[in-house]
Amino acid sequence: MFYPRYYYFDPTYLVLLPAIIISLVAQIKVSSSYSKYSKMRNSRGITGIEAARRILYANGLGDVQIQVISGNLSDHYDPTRRVLRLSGDVANSTSIASIAVAAHECGHAIQHATGYSPLKLRSAIVPVANIASSLSWVLLVMGIIFASDSLVTIGIVAFVGYVLFHVVTLPVEFNASSRALAQIEGLGLSTADEIHHEKKMLSACALTYISAAIMAVLQLLRLILIARSRDRD
């Protein structure tokens, strides 16, 4: 069917509404959880960087470098350089949130060391996803302007790579959190009550990846609707 544009309003944006709502909820949940658990000190008095070192050494990854970087929740593991980067707030804090975040990133380092397949796939998709996220829209617009079905189709296919990246990210992140909690418990870094809170913290963070995946899928659906609308105009 034809989708009329009233006052330049594109009704296909409504497709993204569920993802936008989930994304807002996820952001609020992560912010409130981190704010809450960053104020709760772990009973062991262990900082985030100390927890990371213990986990890495316990898994034979003592050669993985740990760097303290700026930014808020900018923590990540770089598999290409085998570097674990922790934000200052996480590295130097003894909070429950810091232990959870640091352990989660260590989970990625363990995944890398053990050849975890979804992580390898995600790493391989990264270059494609980066290009696809911007190029797909350019191709779609050009296809519409020049009435080229081929360009529209290529644009949609290119965006599939972006969607695939976010879908593959889900098992990678969930598995990293599972590994993190297992390491925290196995190494005695936190008490049972603290692990319960750390699990809540990581579950809140997982919502951001879920919302990103839903947004990517719905954006793909929107691209398809736009293409179909053009065909029927």
Provide the token pair at 140.
């779609």
Distance CA 130, CA 162 (A): 7
The answer to whether 113 touches 133, Cβ cutoff 8 Å, is: no
Out of 50, 105, 173, 194, pick the active-site residue. Answer: 105
Q: At residue 50, what is the residue type?
A: E
Q: At residue 147, what is the residue type?
A: A
Q: Kindly list the distances between the CA atom of residue 138 and the CA atoms of 118, 144, 153, 156, in Å, as whole numbers in the listed order.
A: 29, 10, 12, 11
Is 50 considered catalytic here? no
CA angle 81/86/87 to nearest 5° reads 135
Q: Which residues is 77 bridged to in the sheet?
A: 84
Q: Which residues are catalytic, by number?
A: 105
